[in-house]
Structure 1
Amino acid sequence: MTPASTGASTTVGAASSAPVTDSRMTPGGPGYRRMSFALFLAGVATFALLYSTQALLPLISGDFGVTASEASWTVAASTGGLALFVIPMSALSERFGRRTVMTASLAVAVAVALLVPFAGSLTTLVALRAVQGAALAGLPASATAYLAEEVRPRALVTAIGLFVAGNSVGGMSGRVVTGWVAQEWGWRVAVGALGVLAVACAVAFRLLLPAPKHFTAGSLRPRVLLGTVRAHLADPLLRRLYAIGALFMTVFGGVYTVIGYRLTQEPFGLPQGVVGSVFLVYLVGTVSASAAGRLVGRLGRRGALYLGGGTTAAGLLLSLADSLALVLLGLVLITAGFFAGHAVASSAVSRTATHGRAQASALYQSAYYVGSSAGSTVGAMAFHAGGWAGTVAVGLLAVLGVVGITLLGSVAAARVAAARTA
């Protein structure tokens, strides 16, 4: 991915036509391992903090005496804050540098994490989580740009893959760890322990990440940034991809926000630690996301999206059963379908955008986390009103939206093909 096209900065040494003088990092070369491990730790800290309360919602509900839909705002606030600030943070990184913005973002986020256990009310907790999400927006907004500038093109996919691996490990381990710690000592100690872990990750990140050598600062130039964003939003294909990402995440956010309530209630009655361990299902997503490229090769982009949507829908229907084995199988299918669909849509954004790819990606991330916030809130409200069946109904509507939008894309492609042959 090229650096953000805000008109603000240019990447020094980015041309691939001068391999002899290319001083960017490559596997086995100076600084590459340090850089990879630093960004892996940043990914762990980011996603562990972003979803730190998701596995703990039943305990938070009990502590504050609130409903599932009210407690879900502790998740929606963090993802919503990230969605709102990811584009502004990408612009700030153009002016002040990638490493500077990432360091500041982590510093603020971990400072807030140490305050979260002392929240005296749900309102205070939600406000802290919103600030935390806004701060964390500086990581995805800057990390890929840093890699594009500092790593040679042939090593870029691998380097970004390590950062994404940190994201998934952080998201999974944060939920699992908090589940088991909370079972023994309560949710406040659990999020506090996660905050301490994030502090360690943030310190190691700052010490390990090599200073940038290929970044040139520039002015923010908001008019150019707004023009680039406007152009992306005017592209019908990009709009469809943004909507698909948001709808897939609506399903995923709703399911994993509410699943703790479903499994701690009858007929399952599972303890908090076991409920937290359910998030190990995320490992299935790692496999399905890595297989997305092969799916697109065999089925095409729209075919892969249909398959992802169908797999997700099948998982939602299976999860309605009162059998724990079938519920877990349903979660496996939901997770596999979501990650495959997300991988296909997000990669298509980069291929579709012919300029301003950083802003195109930031818009996708913004839509993605808006979907997460909407899914967390609406899914919990549906659960409060109609139980797990209500949450499943919301998910199925979102999947229907994915299928409908993909079908519109198929029709549009057919019309273009017919016009060319006419």
Structure 2
Amino acid sequence: MTRSRRATLAMLLIGLAIFSGLYSTQAILPVLVEETDMSSGAAALTVSAATGGLALFVIPASILSERFGRGRVLLASAIGAALIGVLVPFATTGWAVIVLRGLQGAVMSGAPATAMAWLAEELEPRALPRAMGIYIAGNSIGGLIGRLVPTFATEVFTWRGALWTGAAVTLVFALVAAFLLPPQQRFTPKEIHLRSELSALFQHWRDGHLAALYAVAFLAMGTFVSLYNFIGFRLIEHFGIPPVIAGFVFLLYLSGTWSSARAGGFINRFGRRATLTGSSALMVVGSLLAAGPLPVLFVGLLLFTAGFFAAHSTASGWVGARATQDRAEASSMYVFCYYLGSSIIGAATGWAFSVIPWVAYAVVLAVLSLLPTLIAANLSD
């Protein structure tokens, strides 16, 4: 196997490992509520804690990789997070689960912080687009695996057994990736100067265009996680769907795989502003339809998911095109805002879900989706 193919396959497995671990509790939130002393809001914190830990440490991990190498940080992150995932089911209280999930998210931050930089530095330009595409595919498929494996496992095991099953799959992905990933050949370590690194990071906020895109990342991801955190409760409690069948709702992520892959074509045809505005508007429509009867709800989820992934693909690519210098720092700030939104908005809407009816909750999500729509409409290509 050539070096390029080994690297591409390793990055696919890294994406599978990280994103299957990141969302391992999301699909079984109703089971956690039923089998533990956790409320629905506290159960949702098992997702928000992981994404929050990732958000807080993605920038430090990116800085450390400049000194110690992308590969070291990448593999330590993937394997370390998988091992912590094995420990999560040993927790004896709901809050212990939340703390361990926060630690798991913090450790796994090194992978999304460095994976694309590793590929950009080590692969030939001709091989890079395909490798990047496969890595991103691994992210979306990993998120799907991380939700479906524990869902199926709950039919046989308790919540602990379900999480152990998911953690075992994640650990296998990480270990095989460590075996396949070639050593770095083109990395040159540099001295880390905290002041200059922070200056490079925060200077991008002076660009109103980039600041707007960071706000879109925060709001869109927060809304997306908020809907999928609690859609299982709606399907099980209101429509009487068994938990294992309700878990199939995450297959709608495949609509996001489709839409994100075609976002580039929409941008070429309509421009970035129109594509981002239209994608965010789909999230608004999808949120409102999620308040309807079951067939309408599924249509709403389909539109919402496709809109979110197209918006994310457009906004993240726009950051790279807009930043004329310190692009790695610009992208790291985008990732930080993206996962911070997941954590903060996901936690806040957990409280909202517990005190308002589902129709009102859907309206809240629609309002949250409207904000990035309005922001995008006021940007210029």
Shorter-chain TM band: over 0.9
Partner of 1:317: 288
Partner of 2:154: 182
**2:98 pairs with 1:126:** yes
Which residues of 2 match residues 186-201 of structure 1 at below 5 A? 186-201=158-173
Q: Does 127-136 or 385-394 show the bigger shift?
A: 385-394
Counterparts of 1:105 and 1:190, CA distance in 2:
23
Q: Name segments (4+ residues, structure 1) moved above 6 Å.
A: none
Partner of 2:208: 236
Counterparts of 1:188 and 1:309, CA distance in 2:
37
Aligned match for 1:222, one of 194, 200, 209: 194
Aligned AA (2:176):
A
**2:301 pairs with 1:342:** no
Partner of 1:84: 56
CA RMSD of aligned residues (A): 1.3
Decide whether the 8 Å contact of 2:288 with 2:363 is kept in 1: no
Partner of 1:147: 119
Partner of 1:270: 241
Partner of 1:300: 271
Counterparts of 2:184 and 2:360, CA distance in 1:
49
Q: Does 393-402 or 124-133 show the bigger shift?
A: 393-402
* 1:183 aligned counterpart, secondary structure: coil
Aligned AA (1:274):
I
Measure how far apart 1:363 and its partner are.
Answer: 0.4
Deviations 1:163-203 (A, max 9, x none): 11111111001111111111321221111011111111111
* 2:325 aligned counterpart, secondary structure: coil
Counterparts of 1:166 and 1:378, CA distance in 2:
29
Partner of 1:65: 37
Aligned match for 1:202, one of 169, 174, 182: 174
Structure 1: runs of 5+ lacking an equivalent: 1-28, 414-422
Partner of 1:288: 259
**2:369 pairs with 1:386:** no
Deviations 1:64-98 (A, max 9, x none): 22321111110000000000000000011111111
Aligned AA (1:295):
F
Measure how far apart 1:157 and its partner are.
Answer: 1.7
Counterparts of 1:371 and 1:195, CA distance in 2:
25
Counterparts of 1:69 and 1:405, CA distance in 2:
29
**2:71 pairs with 1:99:** yes
Deviations 1:219-272 (A, max 9, x none): 111121111112111111110000011111122110000111111102x11111
Measure how far apart 1:44 and its partner are.
Answer: 0.4
Percent identity for Structure 1 against Structure 2: 41
Partner of 1:166: 138
Aligned AA (2:254):
L
Counterparts of 1:112 and 1:54, CA distance in 2:
17
Partner of 2:296: 326
* 1:401 aligned counterpart, secondary structure: helix
Aligned match for 1:44, one of 12, 16, 37: 16
Counterparts of 1:195 and 1:230, CA distance in 2:
36
Counterparts of 2:349 and 2:360, CA distance in 1:
8
Partner of 1:367: 337
Measure how far apart 1:390 and its partner are.
Answer: 3.4
Give the greater-gyration-radius structure (CA).
1
**2:324 pairs with 1:354:** yes
Measure how far apart 1:374 and its partner are.
Answer: 2.5
Aligned AA (1:398):
L
Measure how far apart 1:306 and its partner are.
Answer: 1.6
Aligned AA (1:279):
F
Decide whether the 8 Å contact of 1:379 with 1:390 is kept in 2: no
Counterparts of 1:372 and 1:282, CA distance in 2:
17
Decide whether the 8 Å contact of 2:217 with 2:334 is kept in 1: yes
Partner of 2:183: 211
Aligned AA (1:82):
L
Q: Report the TM-score, using the length of structure 2 for normalisation.
A: 0.97
Measure how far apart 1:396 and its partner are.
Answer: 1.3
Measure how far apart 1:151 and its partner are.
Answer: 0.7
Counterparts of 2:87 and 2:220, CA distance in 1:
32
Counterparts of 1:373 and 1:118, CA distance in 2:
23
Decide whether the 8 Å contact of 1:248 with 1:399 is kept in 2: yes
Partner of 1:255: 227
Decide whether the 8 Å contact of 2:25 with 2:163 is kept in 1: yes
Counterparts of 2:127 and 2:322, CA distance in 1:
22
Q: Does 400-409 or 102-111 show the bigger shift?
A: 400-409
Structure 2: runs of 5+ lacking an equivalent: none
Aligned AA (2:343):
S
Paired residues, number:
381
Counterparts of 1:240 and 1:183, CA distance in 2:
44
Counterparts of 2:265 and 2:62, CA distance in 1:
31
Deviations 1:29-71 (A, max 9, x none): 8311111111111110100100000001111112222321111
Counterparts of 2:357 and 2:144, CA distance in 1:
25
Decide whether the 8 Å contact of 2:278 with 2:373 is kept in 1: no
Measure how far apart 1:344 and its partner are.
Answer: 0.7
Measure how far apart 1:362 and its partner are.
Answer: 0.6
Aligned AA (2:179):
L
* 2:24 aligned counterpart, secondary structure: coil
Aligned AA (2:218):
A
